[in-house]
Chain A
Amino acid sequence: MGPEALAEHLNRVLEGLAIDHPIGTRVTNLTRLSGGANNETWRFTWHETPLILRRRPFSAESVENLDGNILGLSLVDEAHIIQLAAEAAVPVPHIYTVLETSHPLGESFVMAFIPGESIPQQWLKAGAFSSARKGLAYECGVALAHTHTVDCSQLPQSIKPVTLAHRFDGIQRRLEIFGDVSPAMQFGLNWLIDHAPEDVPCVLLHGDFRTGNLLVNEQGLAGILDWELAHQGPPAEDLGYLCAHVWRFGNIEKPVGGFGEYADLLAGYRSIAGWAPDLESLKYWEIFAALNWGLVCQTMGALWHNGSGDIERAAVARRRSEAELDLIYLIDAWGTL
């Protein structure tokens, strides 16, 4: 669907919403933002209100979370999660309306535009963000602790509690489907199975809580984006994921997302939750995140082989070796094989 047709459909949707506008208002400044692998993100203005449209431009027939594809949640479920997160005091955009697959726009939702910088290479370096960076690890801990308070009985059906054993089985299956090409990833999976935590609580996780999904302004954390990989799991998983080497943007000496320290992240978490995972369990999930990134790279390669995506996808497949290096490096540093 081209931008003009998109704007026409949006006009009809927005006329019915309680966003201040005179009669005859039309969508202006419609711009496609660089989006994720699965969804389109558009920015536009409705009278004086800047808004965001998230839409899935194709019908996602088999959306299964964490079990073999990277599509993640449906947009309807993602919107639902964002609304639950908002009620739990997590900084997320207000959702104005959610549209089902049968709508001409396809499955989509309209949300508030939060001003801020979402490109890590900008806010990780620029002097204007230096004070924001100082408090950010703590704020991430706070936001994750709030996320983890969401009542799991309110979650959509697609987010079921999943045992670690079930996830390990799914990963093993994917390694086999992808041709057993990575001894390092198989070694990493064995290690993760052998060192898996027992009796961990199961909470709502953001599931993709990394530097690239933070919206930052000069005061600090302004918003948390992209909830499509939300799932249930142990709290330490979200914290460890943020600390994975691959999301540090080259600043490997700053363990929290390339900008912060472990102690600040954990202190922020503790300030809300009253407890925090220990550092060792965070590091376990860093190793898990490395394996996960390797699987994402493999999936990108598989999608490219199936004729979907451009040269970037083919190139990302080769970034698997980053994940493999991290796996071996971190397991070696852990000290027990």
Chain B
Amino acid sequence: MNERDDSITATNVTSLQLLQAVKGFIAETVIPALSDRNQFNARVAANVIGIVQREQALGPALSALDNAAFSQWIPDGAPDQDVVPQISQAIAKRTIEPDTAFLDYLKQRQLLLSAINNPRYANRAAAAEKWHYLDTDTNSAEDTR
């Protein structure tokens, strides 16, 4: 999806492709032209675009997971409001039993979140291997850098 389409008839440029173009510009043009703190920040900027790209791809799966957890554990919640704070508050009030089913939800959630925010975090690979039974497909948005 991120590859440039060679077909002369392709005129549409998706938002993901625009982000890829900006990331390429930062990597190829901006970073080499800067030094010190500004160069460091340009690298951070390229990484940030990677986060946005991966969130575009995996965000819907994360929302679906949170909504399903909300339905399961907070039947009397307010579905028209943000569900994640309501889940946190229910944990704080201890109205959700901290059993393995709930822990599995948190594991799946963290695999998705870390695939978005930092797929190269060392402990992520260890966690993904240990929790393979959850069968989450978080590698589809593997780092494109």
Contacts and interface: CB of A to CB of B under 8 A. Distances in A.
A311 B38 CA distance: 10
Given A337-B98, A337-B103, A250 B122 contact: yes
Given A180-B85, A322-B114, A190 B123 contact: no
Contact of B44 (A248, A315, A328): A315
- B interface, over-half SS: helix
- Chain B contact-residue range equals 35 or more
B110 A325 contact: yes
A318 interface: yes
Contacts of B113: 321, 324-325
A247 to B, nearest CB: 11
A180, A191, A310 interface centre (most CB from chain B within 10 Å): A180
A322 to B, nearest CB: 5
Given A321-B116, A322-B118, A325-B114, A184 B123 contact: no
Contacts of A275: none
B47 A315 contact: yes
Contacts of B8: none
A330 B113 CA distance: 17
A285 B8 CA distance: 59
A252 B123 contact: yes
A44 interface: no
A314 interface: yes
Given A190-B92, A252-B123, A329-B126, A181 B84 contact: yes
Contacts of A248: 122
A332 B103 contact: yes
A108 to B, nearest CB: 22
B121 A322 contact: yes
A127 to B, nearest CB: 22
B126 A311 contact: no
Contacts of A326: 123
A183 B88 contact: yes
Contacts of A187: 91, 98, 106
A326 B87 CA distance: 19
A57 B89 CA distance: 38
B41 A184 contact: no
Given A184-B106, A318-B118, A332-B107, A325 B127 contact: yes
A328 B106 contact: yes
B116 to A, nearest CB: 7
Interface of B: 40-41, 44-45, 47-48, 51, 84-85, 87-89, 91-92, 94, 98-100, 103, 106-107, 109-111, 113-114, 116-118, 121-124, 126-127, 130
19 contacts: A183-B84, A183-B91, A183-B106, A183-B109, A186-B88, A187-B98, A187-B106, A190-B94, A190-B98, A252-B122, A312-B40, A315-B51, A322-B117, A322-B118, A324-B110, A325-B123, A325-B127, A326-B123, A329-B126
